Amino acid sequence: MSEHEFEVNGVRRTVSADPLRRLLDVLREDLALTGTKEGCGEGECGACTVMIDGEAVNSCLVPVCQVQGARVTTVEGAGLESVQEAFLEEGGAQCGICTPGLIVMTRAWLDTCEREGRVPDEAEARRALAGNLCRCTGYGKVIASALAAAAEGGER
């Protein structure tokens, strides 16, 4: 056991945990942030996507010791409202289990586009979301949601 200090959704947290404990478990069990889902536990499905210092990662593959001092953003965090709104309006969420991961990934993608001055388009959206499996939608409405969020611009 050791102490790990990091920021989650803008709040500084200190967690006492085995350094190899998965960030996913720390979020869900120690911090009661159950919006982040486990779909496979091996980095294939993307349901557990969170941002660490703005980079999207699979939290099932990240040991908690690696987020020491970092900023972690989950689906419960701020700054996701326009993406959430787009998924509601465009029908991008069906059963909802992959939705938190998709929403965080979409935010990370739009932030990257903005940072690098690229224009978000459908081909980019498909590449950006390729690591997030959804079995309900066929992805058409997921991509439409991501592009609708992009059309909202950098607004949060």
Partner 1 sequence: MTRVVGTRLRRPEGPDKVTGRAMYVADDVPVGCWWGKAIRSPVAHGELLGFELDPAFDFSQVVLVRAADIPGVNVVDLIVDDQPILASDAIEHWGQPLLLVAAADQATLDAAVRAIDVRVRESEPLLDMEAAEVVFKEIVIDKGDVDAALASAPHVLRRTYHTDSQEQMYIEPQGAIAWPEAADGTVLVRGSLQCPYYVQRALARALDIEPARARVVQAATGGGFGGKEEYPSVVACHAALLARAAGQPVAVIYDRHEDLAVTPKRHPARVRHATGYDDDGRLLAMDVDVLLDGGAFTTLSPVVLSRAAIHAAGAYRCDAVRIRGRVVKTNHVPYGAFRGFGAPQVCFAVERQMDAIARERDLHPATLRKRNALRLGDTTATSGRLEESVGSEEVLAKILERTGFEDHPWCQPRPAAGRKRRGAGFSFFFHGAGFTGAGEVHLKAKVDVRLAADGRCEVHSASTEFGQGTVTMFTAIAAEALETGPDDVLVVEPDTGAVPDSGPTVASRTCMVVGGCLARACRELRARIDAHGGQGAEGSFRERARAFLAAGGDGRVEVTYASPPGLVWDDERYEGDAYPAYGWAADYVEVEVDLDTFEVSMERFVSAVDVGKAIQPQLVEGQIEGGSLQALGFAHIEVVGTKDGRFLQDRMATCIIPTTLDAPPMEVLLVEEPFSHGPYGAKGVGELPMDGGAPAVASAIEDALGISIDRVPATPERLAAAWLAAHPEEAL
- Residue 148 found at the interface with partner 1 (CB under 8 A): no
Give min distance, CB of 132 to partner 1, in A: 8
CB nearer to partner 1: give 52 or 105. Answer: 105
Are the beta carbons of 109 and 101 closer than 8 angstroms? no
Binding-residue total with partner 1 (CB under 8 A): 49
C-alpha 72/C-alpha 8 separation (Å) is 5
Residues 72-91 that bind partner 1 (CB under 8 A): 74-76, 84, 87-89, 91
- Residue 49 found at the interface with partner 1 (CB under 8 A): no
Instruction: Determine the residue type at 32.
Output: A
Other C-beta atoms closer than 10 Å to the C-beta of 68 total 12
CB nearer to partner 1: give 24 or 67. Answer: 24
Sheet (strand 11-17) strand order: 11-17, 2-8, 71-73, 49-52, 55-58
Q: In this structure, what token pair is assigned to residue 145? A: 């949601």
Residues that bind partner 1 (CB under 8 A): 28, 33-42, 44-45, 47, 74-76, 84, 87-89, 91, 93-100, 103, 125-127, 129-143
